[in-house]
Amino acid sequence: MVLSENEVNEYVFERFKDVKKGKIKNLVSFQAMNKYMIMAHSQDELKKLGNIVAGYKKNSSEGIMEEYEKHLKIALENKPTIKTHSNVILHIFGYFSKDFTQSEKEQFFKLLDEFREEKITIGQILSEISPIVYRFNNTYLASQTYFLLYADPQPGNLFHMLSK
């Protein structure tokens, strides 16, 4: 099932409601987990959000949460494009490029070209990339909501097969 942008936004804001009730460390985790999802929406707002989180010692917790929420809303008002998703995918590729063989790099860029040419969807390319995250045991990327919200369910995924 592919999520609409409204569903993506609802999911993110539901998680943020929980963050607002907690401590600043929860906001730091939220920012880290949502980095690539926010980047797909707005790289400018991602930078602002990062600065808000980084400056937590200068403001009250309540003030930081309000400022963060304001810029999160601005970020999510921007709909991701092929260009912004491509940028995110290249950032993700940076985590693995040194470990890839030449043929794996070629395959990766073939997939990216297919995405840019709209031959495959964002969900399809992320479904191809997602197993790589686990292959290289990258817990930071594994925690990204970007994969959760935009990747297609994988028919070969053990959990998907068990749910049938």
Residue 142 and residue 111 in contact, taking contact as beta carbons nearer than 8 Å: no
| Rounded Cα gap, residues 50 and 157, in angstroms | 33
Helices 5-20 and 24-33, packing angle to 10 deg = 160
How confident is the model over 9-54, as pLDDT tens digits? Answer: 999 999 999 999 888 899 999 999 999 999 999 999 999 999 999 9
Banded model confidence at residue 154, pLDDT cuts 50, 70, 90: low
How does pLDDT run across 41-96, given as a tens digit for each residue? 999 999 999 999 998 777 778 889 999 999 999 999 999 999 999 999 999 999 99
How crowded is residue 12: how many other Cβ atoms within 10 Å of its Cβ?
20
